[in-house]
Chains A and B, each alone.
Chain A
Amino acid sequence: MTADPVGGAAPCCDEYARLSRRGLFRSAALLGATATFGSAVVTTSGSAPAAAATRSARNVLVVLSLRGACDGLNLVVPHADPAYYTARKRIGVPKERLLAVDDMFGLHPALAPLLPLWDSGRLAAVHATGLPAPNRSHFSAMEEIEDADPGSAVRSGWLNRFLGADSYTSPLQGVHVGGGVPPASMYGAHDVMSARNVDSVGIAGDDQWVVDDGRKRSLDLLWRGNAGPLGRTVRSSFAAVADFAPVHAVPSGPRNGARYPQGDLGSAMKEVARVLRGDVGVEVVTVDHGDWDMHSDMGNLEWGRMRSNTTELAEAVAAFFTDLGPAAANVTLVTLSEFGRRVRENDNWGTDHGFGNVMFLAGAGVRGGRYHGRWPGLTDAPDADLLVTTDYRSVLSEVVSRRFGTSSAQVFPGFSPETVGVMA
């Protein structure tokens, strides 16, 4: 017991002490400085054995959920489809204002901050993606998209199944960043972490005055054997908090001149960059961005919710990749929304619930600077949808298989993906 490298703190938390101690030890080693663990003060020279409980991430997948069903037809505009402009007389984006225009498509002008990524081949769009059949309920569609295992009675999210596909069990392998609650995609047997920001990750009261590691031992005792969801979280959080220590050592604030926009998304993406710099084995990050449910006041290029939300999205993603700089070399970001919106505008400068949508992919491994997918053609009719020609799971399968070597069958059981060609 006294041979314990961190000074003989009692093994209160036997089932996770291994991770906790190593994580702390690793952070101390990285800092080459002094760290505290309960009452024990540890000084290392920085040359201690590199016995890390966390490993470095193989690659990183950031899933950015655009909540409320974003309007893919105005984000990536099919300017060459004549039905687009007849169906959207007021909210349609004029062709001459589009960016990155090709024969068929162009980007909403508010996506301008993403042009450098597009032009350097690191940003792509896949159009006409979505569920196999329309589901116009936000809440049911979100569950369906994030569970992504139709017919199974087990509530497990596709990202959780992905995390469980290897033998690595650290709860830091998957992290939800920002406010609210982690998405359904993260629910499941694999423990995950969540943090509203980096500074909030810690156990209050586990301070330098604690005797004999009593704070954590006390909490452990209170929650040991608790069969509810809180009990499981308390247990996994201990390991996660200890292993998270290197992230605290990463100075806050963006690098490389990155400027995040005001608002929740910018704040969250800034925290994500800091988490990834900490190199604690995070491979999946989820971030939510709302509110894209624009039944009214989407507006046009001069005003409205579409313009402001799109600007925030573009500025936040652009700042994230600028901030990471070379550290973005293994980071792939995907956007996902529960469904798309109708082709024809309504009477309130908005659109009602539709079907097909666009997905953006940015960063490592993306065959960017182009529009992927098969265009089904639009119809200008009162209830016309953008039809889906690419199952969203085909896109995600390509990401997890090309970036991580994880088979689609493990993540999307029973689904046969088609080749999309968006990932190298």
Chain B
Amino acid sequence: MSSPLAPSRRTLVAGAGGAALAGAGGAVVHAAAPAAAARSTYAPATYAATPVLPAAQRHLVSRFSYGLTPALAAQVRRSGGAAAWFEKQLRPSAVADGMPSGFGSWWPSLSRGPKELWDRQAQEVEGGWVVMQNYQRWVLMRRTFTQRQVAEVMTEFWENHFNVPVNGDLAFTHRAAYGSVVRARALGRFEDLLLAVTTHPAMLIYLDGARSTKARPNENLARELLELHTVGRGTYGEDDVKASARILTGWWVDLFGSWEAGYRTEAHATGPVRVMDFADDNASPDGRDLTRRYLSHLAHHPATAARICRKLALKFVSDEPSEALVASLARVYLANDTAIVPVLRALVASAEFRGSAGRKVRDPGEDVVATYRALGLKVGPPTQGDAAVNAMLWQVANLGTTPLAWPRPDGAPLTGDAWSSPSRVLASFEAHWVLAGGWWPKVGVTYRRPPAWVPRFPITFRLLVDHLSRTVLQRPSTAALLEACCLATGIAPGERITRDHHLVRWNMHRLLATLLDSPAHLTR
């Protein structure tokens, strides 16, 4: 890996390059001047009429939303600042949802019951995979347009933690309902969430709990419950996995029948069980209360507290949260009977959180959603196959994964290295480019026309870049950003932009893509 060049050398080299090319008929971008002069050439201007949030507020809101927009920033200001906005968001029922009217009926199958969904697939009316793609689209739309941003972010976090991939063979029958169960508890107590998901038919189907037997308890759900959902590796052994599997026997789903979930006492493996320091006589054939006690024990286990809090810190602080932060969050978690909200409050109040601005890489879903938001795209219902709301899912797929489709029970990675592969970076640039140009999708979406990006005519390029930086990136422009915009468009900083300027007529996408391809947009 090469070390970055010093700025002075960069500008010198760039200056020389510009001078060399001027003779070849290219646009003169740089003066062949000393470094100091080159720097002053790109001094940023301030378009004060376009307000931005203070940096610390921007940080809080961008971590706990799918991307700042001028409208969201205005909402934050009206709430009395980011801290007050955050507090209000923690009670989502008090926030207007803001989804388009009629959104609830865009995909009727998302509210059909499991048997109907199965029958429709069996009769070749509608495949389960179609329903699941539409569930992914429903989720992407919510992320893009709901005003309950914190609740949406936390729903994604838990739906990923308790991952039931949407592309499973049978789990589609219960998958959208599973999402609702998570959503309703995303800001509640971890214990309640754990009980709801572990005994949910979607999870029971995915990790084979639905068919576990007394004679040979299936270890799949039992192991991932310990390894992934709660305490994590290093705290239990293989005998604990086996006992965990015995505890969970009895829960089932009437597969290929009614598809309803239930409990069969005749399938529950009775007899004493011990999982780490949880022990029980397990005498009753009805093991439901045993399951509750077991899951409650796991939810309150210090290893679970540390594991959950570390994951929250990975998502919302940095890829390498300190042990001290994790430990202090874990104390809050345990002191509050596994309630999530106090942990989030402690997290955002920490110095480590405040010092972590821009450290998180946006993953594929976050990138595409933030791009739709930053460009102010309006998306309509799925009236035809290539409508934007359908195409959006393929755009995310090109970046390496789609929402809720990570094919393993551990959930999609939360760290930046996973989402920094060359294929992801190139795909992000591609997605930004086609959306900035409004080339695809074409149907069911409204793009802002190029002149609408310009606050007044005429305007110098330097001022326009600052206005757009404030609009798209929610921060003032810098010299580096201005120079990058000049390079991308071949326009000089002081150039006057009129309605007839080539930027407005043909090249606005080059300017917008430059903003979207910048670190400010690809990180949060």
Contacts and interface: CB of A to CB of B under 8 A. Distances in A.
Whether chains A and B associate is yes
B420 A233 contact: yes
A295 B17 contact: no
Contacts of B213: 347-348
Task: Give the most central of A10, A12, A136, A217: most B CB within 10 Å.
Answer: A10
A83 interface: no
Interface in A237-295: 237, 240-241, 290-291, 293, 295
B20 A224 contact: no
Going nearest first, the 7 A-B pairs with the smallest beta carbon separation are A10-B17, A211-B490, A229-B420, A204-B433, A15-B2, A218-B488, A218-B487
Given A137-B233, A223-B519, A14 B426 contact: no
Contacts of A219: 429, 484, 517
B216 A182 contact: no
B359 interface: yes
Contacts of A237: 422, 425-426
Contacts of A189: 1
A195 B424 CA distance: 8
Interface stretch (A112-120, A173-181, A372-380): A173-181
Contacts of A205: 429, 433, 488, 509-510, 513
B519 A194 contact: no
Contacts of B420: 228-230, 232-233
Contact of A212 (B26, B207, B401, B509): B26
A94 to B, nearest CB: 23
A424 interface: no
B218 A352 contact: yes
Interface of B: 1-2, 4-5, 10, 13-14, 16-18, 20-21, 24, 26-27, 29, 207-208, 211-213, 215-216, 218-220, 223, 227-228, 233, 238, 241, 359, 361, 397-398, 400-401, 407-410, 413, 416-427, 429-430, 432-434, 480-481, 483-485, 487-490, 509-510, 513-514, 517-519, 522-523
Given A12-B13, A211-B29, A224-B4, 9 more contacts: A11-B17, A193-B422, A204-B513, A212-B487, A214-B489, A221-B483, A222-B518, A347-B213, A353-B223
13 contacts: A1-B16, A2-B20, A12-B17, A15-B5, A137-B223, A138-B410, A219-B429, A222-B480, A233-B420, A293-B408, A347-B212, A347-B216, A352-B220
A328 to B, nearest CB: 25
Contacts of A295: 207-208, 218-220
Contacts of B407: 67, 180, 290-291
B160 to A, nearest CB: 14
A202 interface: yes
A82 interface: no
Contacts of A1: 16-17, 20
A193 to B, nearest CB: 5
A276 to B, nearest CB: 17
Interface in A184-212: 187, 189, 191-196, 200-205, 211-212
A29 to B, nearest CB: 23
Nearest to A202: B426
A48 to B, nearest CB: 21
A176 B422 CA distance: 10
A223 B480 CA distance: 10
Given A176-B421, A180-B401, A291-B407, A228 B426 contact: no
Given A211-B490, A230-B361, A348 B26 contact: no
B215 A347 contact: yes
Task: Give the most central of A189, A202, A224, A240: most B CB within 10 Å.
Answer: A224
Contact of A221 (B18, B27, B487): B487
A140 interface: yes
Contacts of B489: 211, 214
A205 B508 CA distance: 12
B516 to A, nearest CB: 11
B97 to A, nearest CB: 33
Nearest to A345: B216
A44 interface: no
A230 B423 contact: no
A389 interface: no
A241 B514 CA distance: 19
Given A11-B13, A232-B420, A347-B215, A226 B519 contact: yes
Nearest to A217: B487
B422 A195 contact: yes
Contacts, number: 220
Contacts of A138: 408-410
B430 A204 contact: yes
Contacts of A193: 422
Contacts of A421: none
A3 to B, nearest CB: 11
Contact of A236 (B16, B422, B522): B422
Contacts of A228: 359, 361, 416, 420, 519, 523
Contact of B419 (A39, A181, A212, A214): A181
A121 interface: no
Given A200-B430, A222-B519, A229-B416, A8 B24 contact: yes
Given A136-B223, A187-B417, A228-B519, A222 B514 contact: yes
Nearest to A192: B422
A204 B432 contact: yes
Nearest to B16: A1
Nearest to B207: A295
A299 interface: no
A43 to B, nearest CB: 16
B233 A348 contact: no
A217 B218 contact: no
Contacts of A179: 397, 400-401
A233 B421 CA distance: 6
Contacts of A350: 208, 218
Contacts of A11: 13, 17
Contacts of A49: none
B517 A222 contact: yes
B204 to A, nearest CB: 12
Nearest to A2: B20
Given A138-B408, A224-B5, A352-B219, A12 B519 contact: no
Given A181-B400, A228-B519, A347-B218, A241 B426 contact: yes
B484 A221 contact: yes
Contacts of A214: 29, 487-490
A13 to B, nearest CB: 10
B348 to A, nearest CB: 22
Contacts of B397: 179
Contact of B519 (A137, A204, A211, A230): A230
A151 interface: no
A68 B410 CA distance: 12
A231 interface: yes
A168 interface: no
B421 A353 contact: no
A137 B58 CA distance: 40
Nearest to B9: A14
Nearest to A39: B26
A23 interface: no
Interface in A2-21: 2, 8, 10-12, 14-16
Contacts of A217: 14, 487
Nearest to B521: A222
A10 B20 CA distance: 8
Nearest to A228: B416
A222 B481 contact: yes
A143 to B, nearest CB: 11
Contacts of B423: 176, 194-196, 200-201
B13 A14 contact: yes
Contacts of A222: 480-481, 484, 514, 517-519
Contact of A181 (B5, B17, B413, B485): B413
A241 B418 CA distance: 20
Contacts of A382: 216
Contact of A12 (B14, B216, B421, B509): B14
